[in-house]
Structure 1
Amino acid sequence: MKGGVLGWLGGALLLAQDAVAQEATSVAGNELSSWVLRRRGSASYACKCYPGDRCWPNNTKWQKLNATVGGNLQVNIPPGAPCYNSFKGPLGEVKTYNKDECDKVTSNWYNEQFQIELPAAGLWTYFTNDTCRPTTNPSDTCTLGYYPVLVIMAKTAAHIQAGINFARENNLRLIIRNTGHDFLGRSVGWGALVINTHSFQDIKFTNQYRGACNYSGSAVTVGAGVQAFQVLKQANALKPPKIMVTGECATVGVAGGLVQGGGHGPLTNFYGFLADTALQFKVITADGVLRTANAKTNSDLFWALRGGGPAAFGVIVEATYKTFDDKPSSGVHLDIDTSHTTNATLFWEAVRIFHGYSTHFVDNGLYVYYEIGTAGQNLHVHPFVGIGKTPAELQAVLQPMFDDFAKIGITYTSSSANYSTFYDLYNAMFETEVAGNSALTGGWTIGRKDVEDNHSAIINAFQTVLGAGSFMVGHMWSAGHGLPQNEWGNSAVNPRFRNVVDKLITIVPLAGNAPLADKAAAQDKLTNVVDAALRNAAPNGCAYINEADPYEPNWQQAFWGTNYPALLKIRQKYDPNGVFYAVSTPGTEKWEQIETGTRLCRKL
């Protein structure tokens, strides 16, 4: 099932042309491509080209692209296809059943790294339409759903440039994928061409960075495909051991969507977002040009890439970040669940006590990762992290909370550990995440002032979230705690993040192939019940683009605040015609996915 674009079509034409599709040139200011005109109600749209449209590239063009990218263009087949007799895709039908391959994908379906290594899988399946999941009935139907159609497994910057140019010249929907580690469906999309950057695996360290900034300390340059666990392992092997800002999850890529969204993690208390530590990017913009972006060269683009929106300004080929000396660290686990109490009032009082110390935790340099409601009445803190702290120092920070637990008579389970480096703690105390599940994801942040002035309302909002059948994942940190204030404006992340003490992810479980009415109801619940409760209780908060409701109301302000107007101008400068697209990012106000979430179109 692998190979060139015609590897399993036997040299046939990619598809018959759709006589119904209408074409127009020079629509919406794009003189290079053809657009497909559509209407929905009274609105008119100019849409990207898709299989079945007359403007879809012919076989000769695809073959030429395949040659240009070194034979690394391939048809995308959903991961679960080996469990089905055939895959019925938009380019034709192919026999796919293979018992050994089916067993392999079935046993690894929930393994993040397995999914990451696939050409175009989405780690969470809601936005794929949950099509073609592994099955024990080979006669079931396997279709493409909202997976992309074709993939360039890029090996060089020139391959990425060729893919961008081809998508721009033929007006195709383009998706950039490294790991597929995304909650908002940005790594998948109906009818799209994917450029997969996961093969870019170079990691280079330097003890003394020399570049276009005032920084001269240690740094690391990573390729677009490098994941957190890879660079952290190599950094730990240095003498002395080094560390860099990464996400909490070890499988996330560190040079793409993470930094373009901001990039928070256990070191955020000390050094801010990953975006705050960026020194330089090599990036390919919508015109296909490879550019250097740093504080002196393309400085506007450099600023925008540092938190201004994923898949909005270009494809990062490599990124250079500051590194820091690693430190001995301590951690504590905490659990309160139905084995400790079945009294809901007592449980929520314990949650109130725990969360009431959020400002205390971050002011003392702690990072706290927790979940509420993943198994009903459950507070699961895994872990409290004290970077550079001894067990006694960490315990001293936590003791007031434990004392308050004792006062209300709540029991709990707790354990602590000490490590020679944060890296060792990171590997030992953080839990492995899984792929393959389907849900709608939202989120909001809680400002310091919200905790100080409105904490009872925050806990009431938590109860609303759980009462709606959702659950939450929390991350306590302060992106303004350890970063000098004169550096806060150097990245494009929302200024409100500097006063945040807790960032929440909300999850509403739902199958991606649920009836459309159920999807609409779930989206309404996420936006107008679950996240609305948090927004109302924490008016000083904001939303984090990488972990939020993709249809967040007033998203421009929620995601970027006062930085949005500048980001919009930069987007219009580097990508005026919308070659790149990710939902609710700068410059996408007129873009919609119409026809049940398939066609990406610009409203005229």
Structure 2
Amino acid sequence: MKGGLFSSLCSALLLLLGQNAAGHEHGQLEGYETSKWVLRRSAGAQYACKCYPGDSCWPNNGQWQKLNNTVNGNLRINIPPGAPCYNTFKGPLGDVRTYNKPECDRVTANFADEQFQIELPAAGLWTYFTNDTCRPTTTPTDTCTLGYYPVLVIKAKTTAHIQAGVKFARDNNLRLIIRNTGHDFLGRSVGWGALVINTHSFQDIKVSNSYSGPSGYKGSTITVGAGVQAFQALKKLNALSPPKVMVTGECATVGVAGGLVQGGGHGPLTSLYGFLADTALEFKVITADGALKTANANTNADLFWALRGGGPASFGVIVEATYKTFDDKPSAGVLLDINLNGAADPALFWEGIRIFHSYTTHFVDNGLYVYYELGTAGQNLHVHPFVGVGKTPAELQAVLQPFLDDLNAAGVPYTSSAANFKTFYDLYQAQFETEVAGNSALTGGWTIAREDVAAEGGNDAVIEAFKTVLGAGSFMIGHIWSAGHGLPQAEWANSAVHPTFRQVVDKLITIVPVSGNAPLADKAAAQDRLTNVVDAALRKASPNGCAYINEADPYEPNWQTAFWGDNYARLLKLRQKYDPNGVFYAVSTPGTEKWVQIETGTRLCLKL
């Protein structure tokens, strides 16, 4: 919510912050200040939990007021986006009358718009991990609760605001969430009872023709604040003469400094330049001790390595990032659909999919990027687009022709169209489709290794796995690229991303629809289906693959190896160095082995 309604609610609710119910009894907790922890038992195990509203360790009114003064009045009570459609918001700090029809109409009209959700203080673009609470409604008498949205938000405007928030969360043992765009599949931008630091206001963009820092690189760069999104950075670079480009995600609304680079950051230019993490030159980062540090190849070099793909929300809050940029080039794109809806010949459809996927190594070896969707609604392969950066339409057509010839020979019907663009930026604007927010689903994923798809019978095994995925009611998104194709092998180990990614030819996202407020048994069944049926089929088909932390099952088995391989041991030591007490948290990231969300996914606790 924006404007006067939100501000007035904040003023009223801030008075309630110190009014807590009786806390739980504290016992002796070796190695910790027990007054800051809440002891709980769950399923026969004992836990030491962070502080939440109602606990005796929850900060009192004076402490919150002091924090609000420190951050110049930018502390906000968080209210779910749909609250204006309800008579009353029943929050953990008290009930508030919230109905406002014009605001309700605005929220309802824009709920599926990513940028609308991004501009909110603490919304998650996908709602499953919010408990799907307080969605827009036409029945104001329905109940609106906070669900698993955070309780409070610091809308940080300065580095000092972030530092104050980190220190306050650390000193009071609060669950802390760092949120820029909320562009996250795994629920890392929301969390029950948490304090959020929102970094979206950090919008500075600076470009340079040369870099004088460490690493030996002397080329052009872009330096972006934490809140800058891909479309903003690319627009700025495109306006240069000659135009430049940087590695970004496929989605234009994703932030380019923060979770994207800390997870690795793949996109349409990955086959040419590697991950976004591979192009990083320097970070300004606030660590768990509240200090602002510079991290580059010479200064805090271990932290620099870890921030480049070592796990989102794990080592610090990136305030600013500097990346390499590259000359933009004329580019060609092809859109293709295999659509057999209404045709009773699934064998022909799957033959088309088999042919398509058999060319993954051919596509990446020729420097292409391919984005595709394989859906459950009928028999449909939607490739939007094949991307040939630096290629003419004729050159792209020559790469694709053997694939098209095989489709024709098999009698697989398809439609396609080709287009030529002055720059990759123009292609990016024209051919990548807009994504939507507001959906509820579990996501998972796996990668297909080159050696597995190229082995005898290997591609057939992958296609059988695809059949299992769709047969289980899942939807799938593929990204065909090679993060090792255009990047010198000598640079592969400079970032913390899983070494296996250098041999990947297809990175898959799997999506299992399920409502965030579904019965617990239904949620458990959906999670089991994702982990043990959908993604299990892909893991079996490509045993030499790996998983991508930003687009994966949050409960991926053997996640340490799946996400980081041999890099994990080093990352764990660095996490213990830079955040020994777990100030930062994101599920299945280095050092979180003993952290668990108990009591139906609410309290974040250490298992004792």
**1:17 to partner: Cα distance:** 2.4
Deviation >4 Å, runs of 4+: none
Alignment check: 8 A CA contact 1:81 1:134 kept? yes
Within-5 A mapping of 1:438-517: 438-453=440-455, 454-517=458-521
**Of 427, 433, 436, which aligns to 1:434?**
436
Structure 1 partner of 2:392: 390
SS in 2 for 1:131: coil
Distance in 2, Cα, partners of 1:57 & 1:150? 12
SS in 2 for 1:211: coil
Alignment check: 8 A CA contact 2:376 2:473 kept? no
Note if 1:60 corresponds to 2:62.
yes
**Of 51, 56, 75, which aligns to 1:73?**
75
**1:30 to partner: Cα distance:** 3.5
Structure 2 partner of 1:206: 208
| Stretch moving more, 492-501 or 401-410 | 401-410
Structure 1 partner of 2:313: 311
Note if 1:600 corresponds to 2:567.
no
Change in Cα spacing, 1:557 to 1:478, as seen in structure 2 (3 Å) is same
**1:530 to partner: Cα distance:** 0.1
Query: Which structure 2 residue ranges, 5 or more long, are not aligned?
Result: none
Distance in 2, Cα, partners of 1:157 & 1:88? 33
Structure 2 partner of 1:544: 548
Alignment check: 8 A CA contact 1:478 1:498 kept? yes
Within-5 A mapping of 1:570-585: 570-585=574-589
Change in Cα spacing, 1:530 to 1:66, as seen in structure 2 (3 Å) is same
**1:12 to partner: Cα distance:** 4.1
SS in 2 for 1:30: coil
TM-score of the superposed pair, with normalisation by structure 1: 0.98
SS in 2 for 1:2: helix
Structure 2 partner of 1:125: 127
Within-5 A mapping of 1:369-384: 369-384=371-386
- AA partner of residue 192 (structure 1): A
TM-score of the superposed pair, with normalisation by structure 2: 0.98
Distance in 2, Cα, partners of 1:32 & 1:196? 29
Distance in 1, Cα, partners of 2:445 & 2:307? 22
Q: How many residues align?
A: 602
Structure 2 partner of 1:556: 560
Distance in 2, Cα, partners of 1:333 & 1:532? 30
Alignment check: 8 A CA contact 1:474 1:504 kept? yes
Change in Cα spacing, 1:43 to 1:10, as seen in structure 2 (3 Å) is closer
Distance in 2, Cα, partners of 1:100 & 1:281? 42
Within-5 A mapping of 1:295-374: 295-339=297-341, 341-374=343-376
SS in 1 for 2:6: coil
Change in Cα spacing, 1:441 to 1:378, as seen in structure 2 (3 Å) is same
SS in 2 for 1:559: helix
Provide, for residues 142-186 of structure 1, a one-character-per-residue CA deviation record: whole Å limited to 9, x for no partner.
000000000000000000000000000000000000000000000
Alignment check: 8 A CA contact 2:376 2:470 kept? no
SS in 1 for 2:13: coil
- AA partner of residue 120 (structure 2): L
Distance in 1, Cα, partners of 2:120 & 2:467? 38
Provide, for residues 34-74 of structure 1, a one-character-per-residue CA deviation record: whole Å limited to 9, x for no partner.
10000113211000000000000000000000000000001
Alignment check: 8 A CA contact 1:24 1:35 kept? no
SS in 1 for 2:62: helix
Change in Cα spacing, 1:578 to 1:28, as seen in structure 2 (3 Å) is farther
**1:108 to partner: Cα distance:** 0.3
Alignment check: 8 A CA contact 2:16 2:93 kept? no
Within-5 A mapping of 1:179-258: 179-258=181-260
Distance in 1, Cα, partners of 2:117 & 2:452? 39
Distance in 1, Cα, partners of 2:14 & 2:332? 59
Alignment check: 8 A CA contact 1:4 1:74 kept? no
Distance in 2, Cα, partners of 1:185 & 1:97? 27
- AA partner of residue 422 (structure 2): S
Alignment check: 8 A CA contact 1:6 1:12 kept? no
Structure 2 partner of 1:86: 88
SS in 2 for 1:497: helix
Identical aligned residues as a percent = 77
**1:202 to partner: Cα distance:** 0.3
Change in Cα spacing, 1:374 to 1:14, as seen in structure 2 (3 Å) is farther
**1:410 to partner: Cα distance:** 1.3
Provide, for residues 454-508 of structure 1, a one-character-per-residue CA deviation record: whole Å limited to 9, x for no partner.
1111000000000000010000000000000000000000000000000000000
**Of 251, 259, 262, which aligns to 1:260?**
262
Distance in 1, Cα, partners of 2:241 & 2:32? 53
Provide, for residues 372-408 of structure 1, a one-character-per-residue CA deviation record: whole Å limited to 9, x for no partner.
0153311000000000000000000000111001111
Query: Which structure 1 residue ranges, 5 or more long, are not aligned?
Result: none
Change in Cα spacing, 1:142 to 1:96, as seen in structure 2 (3 Å) is same
Distance in 1, Cα, partners of 2:93 & 2:171? 21
Distance in 2, Cα, partners of 1:300 & 1:550? 26
**1:28 to partner: Cα distance:** 5.7
Alignment check: 8 A CA contact 1:87 1:141 kept? yes
Alignment check: 8 A CA contact 2:512 2:526 kept? yes
Distance in 2, Cα, partners of 1:16 & 1:248? 45
Root-mean-square deviation over aligned CA pairs: 1.2
